[in-house]
Structure 1
């Protein structure tokens, strides 16, 4: 599965737009609070924990989005966007979305 933040894929033609696909991941309240409290007390260590948790959340959301696109028969997802949101000052949500597309069989001639 090709995924990209751009609206096109170099040397490939989009045959069909299948629709919007999205994935979400929510970091549980206690983990988010621990990270925020840790940042205040030990910035370096908390920063590494924070990055790791955020990476896990991002990858989980992307995996969910890809699974949805595969069910639609997509070859790629274009125009992907990412968003983080704090919910009720306790939970952290990571969301990603893009457009599932079917690619033409042959590459574009240059």
Structure 2
């Protein structure tokens, strides 16, 4: 499956637009990661715990979107976009959403 943030694919002709496909993952805060992140905020630096969780969540959302596109018979997804949103009481959860247009190629 070809995935691109661009609306076209160089060297490929889009033959059919199958529709919008999405993947959404919501993750909750984890007390252990919150403690590590708080320590990182005090001493400075990057929060590896949050970064790895974010990367994992993004990959899961992408896999969910690709699965949806595959069910439609797509060869590619174009116009890919990621959104990150804090939701829930006191911002206790985060949603990672990915969307694009499933297409078939000539």
Partner of 2:18: 18
Contiguous gaps of at least 5 residues in structure 2: none
Contact kept in structure 1, 2:37 and 2:49, CA below 8 Å:
no
Partner of 1:95: 97
Partner of 1:108: none
How far is 1:38 from its partner?
2.8
Paired residues, number? 102
Q: 2: CA distance between counterparts of 1:90 and 1:46?
A: 20
Q: 2: CA distance between counterparts of 1:36 and 1:98?
A: 32
Partner of 1:51: 51
Task: Decide which moves more: 37-46 or 71-80.
Answer: 37-46
Alpha carbons of 1:83 and 1:22: their partners in 2 closer, same or farther (altered >3 Å)?
same
How far is 1:83 from its partner?
0.5
Contiguous gaps of at least 5 residues in structure 1: 105-110
Moved over 2 A (4+): 33-40, 42-46
What RMSD over aligned residues (CA atoms) do the two structures have, in Å?
1.7
Contact kept in structure 2, 1:38 and 1:46, CA below 8 Å:
no
The two structures have a TM-score, normalised by structure 2, of: 0.88
